[in-house]
Each structure stands twice: as C-alpha cells, then as structure tokens.
Structure 1
Amino acid sequence: MLTVLLLFSASLIGSAGAEAAQLRFAFLGVRLQNDNERLEPTTRAERDRMTAIGGQFTSALETSGGYVIVPLTDEVRAKIASGQPVGTCGGCEADYGKALKADRVGWITVQKVSNLILNMNVYIADPETDKYLFIKSVDIRGNTDESWSRSLKYLLDNYFFEQKS
C-alpha cells in the first residue's frame, strides 16, 4: 500500500512539474496576404481556412503538452484589428505578448500568389526580448482546405516539433 501511495504522489509531483513547464502562448492570428486581391478577391472559403488553421495550430501546441494557449483580450483584439498587420508592425507582437503575460507569441501568414501557388509562414517570438525564436515557411500547391491543413501539419511535425526533440 505504501508503494502505491508513493507512486501516486510521484505521479502528482510529475504532473505538477509538467504543467509548470508549459509556456504561455498567445496566438495572434492568421493573415492572408492576397497578392491579387483586385483580380481575385479573398473568398469566404479562404477566410474559413484561416480560422481552421488557426485552430489546428493552437490545438497542436496544446496537445504537445508544452504550451497553454492564452486567450486574446478584447483590448488586444481591437488593437490588432485597428493597427498595422501583425508581422509588419515593428514589434507590436511583443507588446501584445507582454500585455497578455505570454511567454511566446505566434502568428501565421499565408501568401496567395495564385490559386495554385501559396506559401505558409509560421512565426514565433519571445515577447520579453522581441526576438524571433522560430520562422519557417512551406510552399502550398493548390488552394484547398486539405492543402492548407496538410501544409501546416508538415511544417509543425517536420520543423517545429522536430526542433523541440
């Protein structure tokens, strides 16, 4: 019985340590850079894909056990909506991360050159130092739900989580 109690206590201590090791992660969103907006306006399907890969990204981070996703406050959402695009705002990402008390901030940009050629970029930075910790890009062939989802999965599995091992 004593052995069972000791093992149970050790597992509780281990879980508490694992939770303490989780980084607070603020996901600032997905932006589509449509290079041909005037000729091919952004579609509802593309807006839906942006939402879907944002959810896929945060879910993958949470599932990894290394991160807890920090929800954006209404104030930060309003600043993001009214300011320059995240990733081009000269350090606003670090400011948002500090306001949210996050250890890391991240965002995704998808560049649409055409319906055949797209590029997905994932950025992760340390708000405290305002330094990028991860920048990776993957090319996408085809503008479909599956191509976007598989591209993000490939990027995470082969670059982001691989570097963490």
Structure 2
Amino acid sequence: MCFAALLLTGSLARADPPKLAVFDFELIDTSLPGEFYGSRPEEARLERISEQLRKELAESGKFQLLDIAPIRDAARRANLQACGGCDLKLAGQLGADLEITGLVQKVSNLIINLNIYLRDVKTGNMVAAASADMRGNTDEAWTRTMSYLIRNRLLAPNYGRPQ
C-alpha cells in the first residue's frame, strides 16, 4: 500500500533527467567566399546556436546540462565528427549520460545545413539525429533553424525513441 502511494505521487516513478554534454558546433565551409576569406560571421553564429541549444534544453527540464568548460579546449582541437569517438571520451570525463555534437555545413551564402547528433555516451549509439536546411546566411536564419530543430525534433514527444 505504501509502495502504491509513492508510485502515485511520482516519488519512485521519476528518475533524475539524464546528464547531457552539448559540445560547441563545428563548421564545414565549402563555399567559395569561405575558401578565400575564412568564415568570420559564421564563427560567432556557431557560438550563438551552441548556447541557444544549451539554454533551451536546460529550460525544458528533460536534461541536466553539464558545463563543458573543463574539456572545451580539447574538443575544439579535435574534429568531433571524425575523431573516432573522442567526443564520447570527453563527455565521459564529465560524467555525461548523453552528448550532443553539431555540425553546420555551408555550401554557399544561400545553402546552409544544420545537423545535430545525440548519442549515448556509454554505448556510443546514436539516439537521435536532426537536420535542417536553411536558405540565407543571417543571424535570424540560424536562430530560427535551431529553434525549429529543438522544438520539432529534440524535444518532440517520442522523437529518436523506438516505437
């Protein structure tokens, strides 16, 4: 009887949200201007969308966001998308259950793709992947695309979960 009362109040049913490490987004710039001049405006936008993602996921209450400051420099020196699992090792050092890496591919100022990868740190399995194309290289386009992916992919009910 006591067990049933605890279950109904949610005391036993609720586990702590998973600990999540969200790495800074990386950029692949294959555009012609990027080859000649570098990607200065995009670098600031990468920081903004990384912080936007952290903030909105923390506010959702579905995750315990971890501070990546202790491993940020090591992560920036690595290519997290092609380092053979170094992202999982770095997230593991923080005690994360899950980790997110992100990639922005700039083909031109008109065609840009934003990708988010959510992985289980212990198994290395992909839990969810989300991708969206944006048209136009503006602060607003980047922010709106990130908001869309958070709202309609990462925080959507049952997204990335087996049916």
* C-alpha distance after superposition, 1:24-56 (max 9, x if no partner): 11111111111133234202x221111111111
Q: 1:15 to 1:34 in 2, by over 3 A?
A: farther
TM-score scaled by structure 1? 0.82
2:3 alignment counterpart: none
* C-alpha distance after superposition, 1:73-125 (max 9, x if no partner): 43x22321333x11211111111121110011002111000001000000110
2:114 alignment counterpart: 120
Q: 1:17 to 1:59 in 2, by over 3 A?
A: farther
CA RMSD of aligned residues (A): 2.1
Secondary structure of the equivalent of 1:129? coil
Letter in 2 for 1:142: G
Identity of aligned residues (%): 31
**Runs of at least 5 residues in structure 2 that lack an aligned partner in the other structure:** 1-5
State how far apart, in whole Å, the 2-side matches of 1:42 and 1:163 are.
36
1:52 alignment counterpart: 48
TM-score scaled by structure 2? 0.83
Number of corresponding residues:
150
Letter in 2 for 1:150: R
Larger fraction in helix:
1
Q: Which runs of 4+ in 1 moved over 4 A?
A: 13-18
State how far apart, in whole Å, the 1-side matches of 2:157 and 2:42 are.
30
1:42 alignment counterpart: 39
2:88 alignment counterpart: 94
1:82 alignment counterpart: 77
**Runs of at least 5 residues in structure 1 that lack an aligned partner in the other structure:** 1-9
Listed as ranges, the matches of 1:1-165 within 5 Å are 20-36=15-31, 37-43=34-40, 45-74=41-70, 76-83=71-78, 85-164=79-158
